[in-house]
Amino acid sequence: MSVFRLGERTFGPGEYAVMAVVNRTPDSFYDKGRTYGFDAALEAVGRAVADGADIVDIGGVKAGPGDDVDAKEEIRRVADLVAAVRERHPGLLVSVDTWRAEVGEVVAAAGAHLLNDTWGGVDPRLAEVAARYGAGLVCAHAGRARPRTRPHRVAYDDVVADVVAYTVDLAERAAAAGVARESILIDPAHDFGKNTFHSLEVSRRLVEMSATGWPVLVAVSNKDFVGESLGGLPVEQRHAGTIATLAVSALQGARVFRVHDAGSARRALAETARLL
């Protein structure tokens, strides 16, 4: 199991990193805009730190379809927050969820340690930005979908084989662009370019991603596949399914866990570690 590094932090074999989500969006599927305001977002970061988060992932654009948000508006939402979080919480690692190189440039200059590209390399310049600023990069599999689109009749011969091949290729390309190998994460991106059956298959066979040697990030918190696989549960009833999926992922070698509830994730992962 490989070591991975972000900023001044090093995570060795068997160490889990909890990544707390803070969305500066008015239309998040989870919090419905509760952390859209600057002060509300900064307070949410503080709560995540108190709950044991190692990383905070700041997003300025809703993942799903919705109102158009251009790069200028995305930067307005996230850049000042990155700078404020770095000042208030100097020991916290800061990630920004973006697929745009121009946004990555600004937030990396503001102090972001990680660029979380959930849309799978649609802008290859983002890796160049990460390399230039010494930031890490998340290489995800979104089924080659365009940003902010939902899967429609998507099909794979073997979804896990596709996920592994695609993310490893992105990771190697990022390394070739100059991103430090120990600062690159791969992410199956549950529900991105995948239906529920695909996301469940990835969860069952996540060990195949871990076996590549690249550190694996999973972002399963309260997602649609969790709710649908449990009989169509709404977002507010998906917590137990989320925790179960985190544990299964940890047992298969996942290292970073992107979640809405950092405290519960930290406790669940600590218990999982005791079982190993």
**What are the sequence ranges of the domains in the chain?**
19-275
pLDDT at residue 1, as a whole number: 63
Q: Which fold has domain 19-275?
A: TIM Barrel (3.20.20)
Query: Are the CB atoms for 80 and 103 separated by under 8 Å?
Result: no
pLDDT in tens, the chain (276 residues): 689 999 999 999 989 999 999 999 998 988 889 999 999 999 999 999 999 999 999 999 999 999 999 999 999 999 999 999 999 999 999 999 999 999 999 999 999 999 999 999 999 999 999 999 999 999 999 999 999 998 889 999 999 999 999 999 999 999 999 999 999 999 999 999 999 999 999 999 999 999 999 999 999 999 999 999 999 999 999 999 999 999 999 999 999 999 999 999 999 999 999 988
- Strand runs labelled E in the chain: 4-6, 9-11, 17-23, 55-59, 93-97, 114-117, 136-140, 184-187, 217-218, 256-259
Question: What DSSP element (H or E) covers 209?
Answer: helix 207-210
Residue type, 61: V
Query: Are the CB atoms for 191 and 181 separated by under 8 Å?
Result: no
Query: Are the CB atoms for 60 and 21 separated by under 8 Å?
Result: no
pLDDT at residue 75, as a whole number: 98
Cα 57 to Cα 255: distance, rounded to the nearest angstrom: 15
Question: What token pair was written down for 267?
Answer: 């406790």
Q: For residue 169, what are the contacts with CB-CB under 8 A and spacing of at least 6?
A: none
Cα 79 to Cα 264: distance, rounded to the nearest angstrom: 28
Enter the pTM of the model: 0.97
Question: What token pair was written down for 186?
Answer: 């791969």
